[in-house]
Amino acid sequence: MTKPTPRSKSIPASRPKSGQKSRTPSEPGRTLLPKAATGIRGLDEITEGGLPKGRPTLVCGGAGCGKTLLAMEFLVRGATEFNEPGVFMAFEETAEDLTKNVASLGFDLKDLIARKKIVLDFVYIERSEIEQSGEYDLEGLFIRLGAAIDAIGAKRVVLDTIESLFVDLPNPLILRAELRRLFRWLKDKGVTAIITGERGDGTLTRQGLEEYVSDCVIVLDHRVDEQTSSRRLRVVKYRGSIHGTNEYPFLIDEDGFSVLPVTSTGLDHTTSSERISSGIERLDAMLGGKGYYRGSSILISGTAGTGKSSLVAHFTEAACRRGDRVLYFSFEESPDQIMRNMRSIGIDLQPWLKKDLLQFHATRPSETGLEMHLINTQKAVNAFKPQAVIMDPLSAFSFGNNEVEVKSMLIRLIDFLKTNRIIGVFTNLTEGGGVLEKTDLYISSLIDTWLLLRNFDSGSERNRGISILKSRGMAHSNQTREFLLTDHGVELRDVNIGPDGMLTGSARLAKEAENRAALLRRNQKDEARRTGLERKRSALEAKIALLRAEFALQEADLQTIIGQEEAEKAQWAQGSVDMGLSRKADAKSSKRKGGSK
């Protein structure tokens, strides 16, 4: 019962320590674990700088997974790029074979050996010749390795595949002890070493080398799904360093090894607010009046025959006309076929091809495998330096159950394009009958602008409709437009929305005619009403004039009467004065007496 107490005490005590440890590498100014850059594309990103310098790293995996190649590239890059000579000790392949094998990857081993940059030592043991009598050790190996290291001042060592000693030599116990001593010795020598090992049953290596080489362990894997092979790399362990823990696809091509980290590009790409035309005026109008954003990703999805490629052709044409370079990846049609088809809607891409503004890459992704395909894409993009990349269609990638792989590839692809500020226009064939607002590839979240093309089946005809499912960062139309493929390109039309729902095609035309007739009728009615009103007004105005005239007449009469009255009144007053005078009225004359007398 006393045990739990010290344990619970020790846990919080150790936690801050580990917390500090993990924080140390990110703190600026502190020295990180020294690392030896491998020079292998992608691997240095995953391992945040390379393999642990001066320590052994275990690279393990099944047969044919690329262990030897990774190790060899590590040495060659070290010798050529980082001025770190290396020793390659081969236990399985002869020096000649190795030289030949890596020559196909562009490594000139002979030259490097002649310049004393690399030492190749092939360890050959014929099991049948060997007997054991009493104890032995591997001092011979130490001496050989030591001599080779000293001969060229090697900083890097590869032991490929040291485990085969267990097959060649008797007494595994001695071997284990000796290998342990060897790895310690390598550390003491301060060389950065790669030790390769075959994957065992349930263990990373057959002989459990991971117990001895514990600084860094990388596992390679080569698997085949649906007849397509893919290679994976995973950093299982990296003592004292942060590292990417995912499985990263890698490939081996004529330039050697490349690992493709998904996260190396991250989400830190700068965005452009420049807008570029979609090639179709009315579509631009739907997209906030200005078209797509430069460097965004556009998805045009729709069922078969909805005009995806035609929209793309419009975009291509417009881009080339602007002087942008367009890289067109076609996965289902040959360039000739595309151009012929596009001529039928009045788009001629040939001149742009000649002007080197447009380049076609027609391949089937299923041929090469997704990783290879991605790398090929990146290579083509790096070589052509386009402003726009078209992939027609993305659905060509998916075969079998490789959704996850396709998605991870597309994420990397879109990331790659965005980092390079290249607008990506992708088409995707959706299967009929399914939900349209979904891609089979689950990439909708990666897409900035998503156009949905649809077929409307009505009145014994099929008509095309286009709508914007989403368009990040711009006001966009919420309406569906009908679009027509004419011999002078794509034309967008308003669809007719009436009480009967959406009408397209001849139904729309009929409805429009009907509407026109109705309008005409209405116009006529209006006209009639207007004239009626006019008439009424003139009648009313005539009446008003009449009344005014009557009123004027009456007014005149009244004025006359008023005038007469006035005159009469005046006359009457004058009359009474005269009367008074004549009657000599005192009352009034006394006033005037003096005056009158």
Positions that interact with other proteins (CB under 8 A)? 121, 123-126, 129-141, 143-144, 146-148, 165, 169-170
**CB within 8 A of 480, min separation 6: which ones?**
454, 465, 466, 467, 495, 502
- Closest contact distance (angstroms) between CB of 80 and other proteins is 24
Identity of the residue, 130 or 558, whose beta carbon is nearer to other proteins in the bound complex: 130
- Closest contact distance (angstroms) between CB of 117 and other proteins is 18
**CB within 8 A of 235, min separation 6: which ones?**
46, 47, 216, 217, 218, 243, 244, 245
**Token pair of 230 as six digits:** 């893919």
- Closest contact distance (angstroms) between CB of 136 and other proteins is 4
**Token pair of 371 as six digits:** 């990783």
Report residue 538 CA to chain centroid gap: 71
- Closest contact distance (angstroms) between CB of 148 and other proteins is 8
Beta bridge partners of 68: none
- Closest contact distance (angstroms) between CB of 125 and other proteins is 6
Name the maximum alpha-carbon separation found in the chain.
191
Identity of the residue, 174 or 436, whose beta carbon is nearer to other proteins in the bound complex: 174
- Closest contact distance (angstroms) between CB of 124 and other proteins is 5
Measuring CA to CA, how many Å separate 285 from each of 42, 506, 566? Answer: 42, 25, 83
Identity of the residue, 92 or 332, whose beta carbon is nearer to other proteins in the bound complex: 92
- Closest contact distance (angstroms) between CB of 121 and other proteins is 6
Identity of the residue, 207 or 402, whose beta carbon is nearer to other proteins in the bound complex: 207
- Closest contact distance (angstroms) between CB of 147 and other proteins is 4
Give the integer Cα–Cα distance in Å for 106 and 231: 20
Beta bridge partners of 156: 86, 192
Identity of the residue, 176 or 294, whose beta carbon is nearer to other proteins in the bound complex: 176
Contact between 451 and 301 under an 8 Å Cβ cutoff? The reply is yes
Q: Are strands 423-429 and 56-61 parallel, antiparallel or unpaired?
A: unpaired
Identity of the residue, 165 or 220, whose beta carbon is nearer to other proteins in the bound complex: 165
Q: How far apart are the first and last CA of the chain?
A: 158
- Closest contact distance (angstroms) between CB of 182 and other proteins is 11
Give the integer Cα–Cα distance in Å for 429 and 410: 15
- Closest contact distance (angstroms) between CB of 404 and other proteins is 45
**CB within 8 A of 396, min separation 6: which ones?**
331, 332, 364, 365, 366
- Contacts of 258-261 with CB under 8 Å at 24 or more apart are 258/40, 258/41, 258/42, 258/375, 259/40, 259/41, 259/42, 259/43, 259/45, 259/46, 259/233, 260/42, 260/371, 260/374, 260/375, 260/412, 261/42, 261/45, 261/46
Identity of the residue, 142 or 384, whose beta carbon is nearer to other proteins in the bound complex: 142
Number of CB atoms found within 10 A of residue 392's CB: 25
Give the integer Cα–Cα distance in Å for 73 and 63: 18
